[in-house]
Amino acid sequence: MELGLEVDDSRSPYTVLTVKGEVDVYTAPRLREKLVELASQGKHQIVVDLEAVEFLDSTGLGVLVGGLKRLRSNDGDLSLVCTQSRILKVFEITGLTKVFTISGSVDDATAA
């Protein structure tokens, strides 16, 4: 199972990370590594696009929470793009909709 991770730097000051596939305990470490890599490159305004994610469990949530903490400690932010009800549900159940800014499109997330 492959996890697709594509970085788009064309929307400065934002970096858009598009995630494709299933995020679980097997694939989540790759997402964590990518977020750490981007932060270490000084990219502190990251938009994670989850529209092509087919499955996300608590391991994936943990990685996103860790990424948000890392970026906020650098005066940055990690926001999400997600309209899929089955993925949004995971954030809603855990209360994390109050922690993350969740937009309906990459355009909306990078409009500010």
- For residues 29 and 111, which CB has a smaller minimum distance to other proteins in the complex? 29
The β-bridge relationship of strands 14-23 and 4-11 is antiparallel
Residue the block writes with tokens 């990424």: 67
Residues 15-54 that bind other proteins (CB under 8 A): 22, 24-26
Q: Give the interface size with other proteins as a residue count (CB under 8 A).
A: 27
Rounded alpha-carbon distances, angstroms, from residue 27 to 1, 20, 56, 57, 111: 8, 11, 10, 11, 30
Phi then psi for residue 81, to 5 deg, are -115, 120
Nearest to other proteins of 93, 111 (CB atom): 93
The window from 5-13, 39-47, 62-70, 101-109 that contacts other proteins (CB under 8 A) reads: 62-70
Task: List the one residue from 99, 101, 106, 108 that touches other proteins (CB under 8 A).
Answer: 99
